[in-house]
Amino acid sequence: MLIVLIKTIITVLLVFFVIRLMGKRQIGEMQPFEFVITMILAEVACLPMNDPAIPLYTGMIPVVTLAFLDIVLTFVGRKSRTFRQFADGRSVIVIDGNGISGKNLARLNMSVDDVVMSCRSCGWPDLSLVAYAIVEPNGKFSVIPKPGAENAAVGLPVPIVEDGKPIKGNLELCGVTDKQLDQVIGGCKGLKDVLYMDVRRDGTVYVSPSSTPCYTRKLHLREGGWA
């Protein structure tokens, strides 16, 4: 029992020292390779702690090796932009002046709903006010608003079409008829071409097709249609 206690204390102190040496940030700020090394570090450090028969050096050697590997790769990444982009990836723009990029969403294995939720989390629920939305290499989501958007009245638009499929419940909630929906999608190749569409209380509709630039239209919503 005493041996296990001593091994645990030594392992914890070693991991603490190694983490400090590696200069780790919060998990949400880690690059992909840093996150992998940190996860493996926690796993191998537990081996000698869980089994008294396993020598202490069995856990210490991998911990030190992983720390050395991380430091070396971080140094190489600082010297080589090409290697840094290979190891960490690049920032990917998912919303630009043309609207939502379906191609880049596919690269990131993200859905339109993921983008909408991320914009809301950043304080920009209205995509018509977003100039750029970027997924950073560490997984964080950045939103750059359009000029003057800070002074615009920010409401909560209701999605009515996602990935070419109408959201029936929201259409009924907002009082948008099928005829009005057909009128709005006249600016693109049809409903299946619409990546995202939402509507505001004043009847302004934002449409982001996959093949043409995004645009807005104004609808006259029936009275009492918006609950």
Tell me the per-residue pLDDT of 54-78, one tens digit each, with 9 for 90 and over. Answer: 777 777 787 788 778 777 877 887 8
Q: What is the pLDDT of residue 28?
A: 53
Q: Is this structure's pTM higher than 0.75?
A: no
Over residues 143-194, the pLDDT tens digits come to 999 998 887 766 789 999 999 999 999 998 898 988 899 888 887 788 899 9
User: How far, in Å, CA of 214 to CA of 118, rounded?
Assistant: 19
Task: Of 106, 208, 192, give the one whose Cα is nearest residue 157.
Answer: 208
Residue 41, domain member (yes or no)? yes
User: How far, in Å, CA of 176 to CA of 183, rounded?
Assistant: 11
By the 8 A CB rule, do 135 and 92 touch?
Answer: yes
Residue 208, domain member (yes or no)? yes
Cα torsion for 193, 194, 195, 200, to the nearest 10°?
180
Q: 87, 108, 142 — which closes off a domain?
A: 87
- 158 and 208 co-located in one domain: yes
- 83 and 106 co-located in one domain: no
Write out the E strands in 77-203.
92-96, 99-100, 130-135, 141-145, 158-162, 165-166, 194-199
SS3 call for 40? helix
Q: How many domains does the chain have?
A: 2
By the 8 A CB rule, do 171 and 180 touch?
Answer: no
Q: Is the pLDDT of residue 93 over 90?
A: yes
- 108 and 196 co-located in one domain: yes
